[in-house]
Amino acid sequence: MLIAGNWKMFKTGRETSGFCDALQEQVAELEGVEVVVCPPFTSLSEALGRGLTVFAQNVHWDPEGAYTGEVSPAMLRDLGVQGAIVGHSERRLYFGETDMSVARRARFALDEGLRVIACVGETVEQRESGDTELVLKVQVEAVAFAAGEHDDLVIAYEPVWAIGTGRTATPEQAQEAHAFVKAMLDVPVLYGGSVKPENAEELLSQPDVDGALVGGASLDVDMFSAICRTAASLS
């Protein structure tokens, strides 16, 4: 089982060092779970070498070029970073990411030796209009066409209406969406959307939920380690 903490735009390098040391102390003995931290670009170096798997929060689709503000797979690998998130709903909402750009990022990162967590999910309007499966079909098929069932690819199902809102998909909703995704692309699927220690067990115990992409709770070492322990107990 994989538990990834997406820190978004939080934690300086100094905060990252102390956090990762404390987290590693709490999860070092856990079996059956891989703990991943995804700090901001400026804190990646401080997260490395502390016994945790480190992913970036984004990666570009070209090896180099005039792309101000972007980072290439080679740059991440040079640091020692193992993978990257692509297509998070906040990237889609605020920075114009499209299904095509997400697929391009995923494919090139995988080709260049990085692991990838590719995010998909519907908005509240799309769910209420009955379009959840249509949205997931379009998003997942874009990644599937570009990357296929790559050994280093993971999908994260993150219902947009449950991110940072305190709302969480029910275990039944999560299972239904995960099973639908896996029917199109046979790779591990994580659940992301207000995962907390209080709801981790019921979500992670669903048969097609292979882990979690944790947002706010990953910023607190005790909360995040509690989720990791729950995952280990279910593995």
For the stretch 167-191, pLDDT in tens is 778 999 999 999 999 999 999 999 9
Count CB neighbours of 234 within 10 A.
15
Active-site hit among 88, 97, 122, 150: 88
Max CA distance (Å), the chain: 47
Report CA torsion sign: 20, 36, 197, 87: positive
Burial class (CB in 10 A: 0-12, 13-18, 19+), 57: buried
Confidence of residue 230 (pLDDT cuts 50, 70, 90): very high
Position 105: which residue type? R
Active-site hit among 90, 97, 122, 158: 158
Q: Tell me, yes or no, if 178 is annotated catalytic.
A: no
Return the domain boundaries, the chain.
2-234
What local confidence, expressed as pLDDT, does residue 124 receive? 84
Backbone dihedral region for residue 21 (phi beyond 0: left; psi -120 to 50: alpha; all else: beta): alpha
Q: Tell me, yes or no, if 88 is annotated catalytic.
A: yes
- Whether pLDDT at 193 is above 90: no
* C-alpha span between 115 and 56 (Å, rounded): 10
Read off the pLDDT of residues 98-135 as tens digits, 9 standing for 90 and up.
999 999 999 999 999 999 999 999 988 888 899 999 99
CATH class of 2-234: alpha beta
